[in-house]
Amino acid sequence: MSEKDKINVLLVDDHEVVRAGYRRLLEGTDDIAVIAEEEDGESAYTGFFQYHPDVLVMDLSMPGIGGLEASRRILAKDKQAKILVFSVHENEVFLTRALDLGILGYISKRSASQVMIDAIRQVASGTVFVGQEMVPYLIKHKSSPDESLMSGLSPREFEVFCLLADGKSVNDIAELLSLSPKTVGHHCTHVKNKLDIHDIAGLTRLAIRLAIITP
């Protein structure tokens, strides 16, 4: 297969060893080429529009804005972007958030290597791909009061919620998301009101309960 016929992939993960492993895996195929690597959400956004990959393979938990927010920004500018999430997060909250944004694929980092290859091929063709290990979470979606509460948060509010629960201050969040502290303050108020939780400890407990963060 000629180079121009291959599926060009941009690989985004903050761990160089992880990227190297997946690069070796993908370049061992006849039809996939890794054209570039990035290490955080901001560079993923920039790199996507620089390299125009057929598939963007994106981790979620990275320094800065993270994979979900980077994906939201990319899809807001290019609705045809084909993004595959590979993440340690195996829960319905992150899966649902990703699919609601328009992300086409979601697999766990504990998936077998062949799953990554199959997922990239499916996503490149425009087909939604959810790893077998994630299917139970599709079934559980909105099955508990906590999950129903979370569904009321906008993508930006969810990002702010995750950062608050992880111990970030308003000023920290403002810097990470390139927003003014005043705007972040408004988002914080909306998050607390929607969740009916009015202290950081409560937000953290909810995030732990939903396996969004680990204690």
The DSSP symbol for 176 reads: H
**Phi/psi of residue 37, each to 5°?**
-130, 145
Report the alpha-carbon angle 107-43-137, nearest 5. 20
What DSSP element (H or E) covers 37? strand 32-38
Q: Terminal CA-to-CA distance of the chain, rounded, Å? A: 48
Q: Computed from CA positions of residues 123, 21, 75, 77, in that sequence, does the dihedral angle turn out positive or negative?
A: negative
Cα distance between residue 128 and residue 106, in whole Å: 9
The burial of 80, by beta-carbon neighbours within 10 Å (0-12 exposed, 13-18 middle, 19 or more buried), is given as exposed
What pLDDT digit, counting tens, does each position of 78-116 carry? 999 999 999 888 777 888 888 888 999 999 888 878 899
The average confidence (pLDDT) of the chain is 88
What pLDDT digit, counting tens, does each position of 41-87 carry? 999 999 999 999 999 999 988 877 889 989 999 999 999 999 999 98
List the domains of the chain with CATH numbers.
Answer: 3-140 (3.40.50.2300), 145-209 (1.10.10.10)
Decide: 7 and 117 in contact? Cβ < 8 Å. Answer: no
